[in-house]
Amino acid sequence: MNIREATEGDLPRLMELYFQLSQLGETPEKEPHEPTMAECEALQELRSDPCSTCFVIEVDGRIEGSCTLYVLPNLSHGGRPFAIVENVVVDEGSRGSGCGQLLMQHAEARARAAGCYKVALTSNRRRANAHRFYQRLGFAPTHHGFTKYFSK
C-alpha cells in the first residue's frame, strides 16, 4: 500500500470514490461523473495551499481510498493549529482491508508533525460503521455538529 498526494490524473478515480461516499450522505449524487473544470481547479487549489493536502492510498497501483487534511491556524490552545479531515472514503470493495486505517494514521501523523493540538472530523449520523471505525482509531464523539447546505 502506498500513500501519496493526489494529482490531476487521479481525479477520475476520486470522482468514483466520492460518488460512493455521496450515496451515504444527505445529498447523494445521481450518477458518477467525469471531473468538472471546477473540480480540477479545486484540486489545483488544494495542491497549492500549504494548509491542505488530499491523500490517496494505492493498492497494486489502484487508488482504493482518499482523505483531505486541513491544518488551520488557531488563536486558542497557545496558538497551536488544529486539523480537520474531510472526504474520507475507501472503495466499497476494499473496506475492512486496512486502507482506511493506514490513511487515517497518515493524516494523523501529518497533523501531529504540524504541531496540531487535535484532529477533528465529521461523519454523517447514518454511517454507523464509519463511526465505529473512527472510534477504534481513538476518535471520540465529543460535539453535536450542525450543517447548512447552500444551493448552487
Q: Give the N- to C-terminal CA distance of the chain in Å, as an integer.
A: 37
CATH number at residue 112: 3.40.630.30
AA identity, residue 59: V
Residue 104 lies in a domain: yes
Beta strand extents in 34-107 (DSSP E only): 52-59, 62-72, 82-90
Give the model confidence (pLDDT) of 40-92 as tens digits. 999 999 999 999 999 999 999 999 999 999 999 999 999 999 999 999 999 99
Phi, psi of 126 (to 5 degrees): -85, -5
In the chain, the number of structural domains is 1
The x, y and z cell numbers of residue 54, run together, are 488530499
| Residue 151, in any domain of the structure | no
The predicted model scores a pTM of 0.92
Structural domain harbouring 119: 2-136
Domain membership of residue 149 (yes or no) is: no
Q: Does 147 reside within a domain? A: no
Residue of 4, 82, 84, 13 whose CA lies nearest to 47: 4
